Amino acid sequence: MEQKIGNYKSSIASLALSDRTLMENTLILGETGSGKTHLANKIREFVINSSIPTIYFDFSDPDPDKIEDRFKTSAHFHYMRFDESEAFDKALDEAIAEKKDIYMAVNPEFFSSKKEVKSQLSKVIQKKALLENYYYFMQVIVQPEGFFTKFEDFVFYIFDMINMKKYGLTFVSQPNEIFENTRIKLLFSFLYVGRCSNAYYYNTVVLRSLPPHHFVHQVRVDHKSLLFNPIKTDIVCIDTSDDLQIR
């Protein structure tokens, strides 16, 4: 199954979500109004239509009425707010057992500020039942500084999670200057492309100059090779219609 979601600017080819999308990681960086959540929801709908449950961590900790309507279809929106309680753990286990599509509001203050202390939030994100059955989304848009002040905890658990999870991860954020940091650039290049690359899309000047619904798309070419496959980079215009284009 494939779902067309946009078109490349340098060719007549279309960008489509495919079975490969379900297994790989996607990084979406863009300014306010760029269409980040529209693109993320396109991916989410595709994953759901592929019969894979999703968990969407929103680190702006929103109330239900602050979440975009596009995410709140009745059959595929199970809202939860993270807290460190037995009642939350029980409710989460029940939702996972029922394969609910979970939208979890999270305050990043629950992350640990010390690298030697693993937070309860990190432990939840690494739950075996989630790693083995769920596709992950992480959204860091409103007040990203609150998230990145706890970035060490994120960096420590993300490597374990990437190695253990079965399906993909989509990470959505604004082009915060932290992505200009050389070590962070190498980390995210590895996570999302599979090998350190030129990754010019981390240049916040480039990202901020793109019109709405235009994104830098970078992917490793999918063909058999004894060496690293080449990386293809292009600007993509994302289709803004809500109609699924499945073929």
Kindly report, residue by residue over 138-161, the tens digit of the pLDDT. Answer: 988 765 555 666 655 566 566 666
pLDDT at 83 over 90: yes
Indicate the number of domains in the chain.
Answer: 1
| Residue 5 in domain | no
**Domain coverage including residue 99:** 18-215
CA 35 to chain centre: 14
Q: pLDDT tens-digit profile of 33-63?
A: 888 899 999 999 999 999 999 999 998 899 9
| Residue 96 in domain | yes
| Residue 169 in domain | yes
DSSP state of 230: P
Amino acid code (one letter) for 34? S
| Residue 150 in domain | yes
| Residue 109 in domain | yes
- Helices then strands, each counted (H, E), the chain: 8, 10
Q: pLDDT tens-digit profile of 222-243?
A: 666 555 666 777 888 988 875 5
| Residue 233 in domain | no
Q: What is the 3-state secondary structure (H, E, C) of 156-177?
A: HHHHHHHHHCCCCEEEEECCCH
Could you tell me the pTM of the whole model? 0.85
Greater confidence (182 vs 82) lies with 82
The CATH number given to whatever domain includes residue 115 is 3.40.50.300
For the chain, the distance separating the N- and C-terminal CA atoms, rounded to the nearest angstrom, is: 6
| Residue 65 in domain | yes
| Residue 7 in domain | no
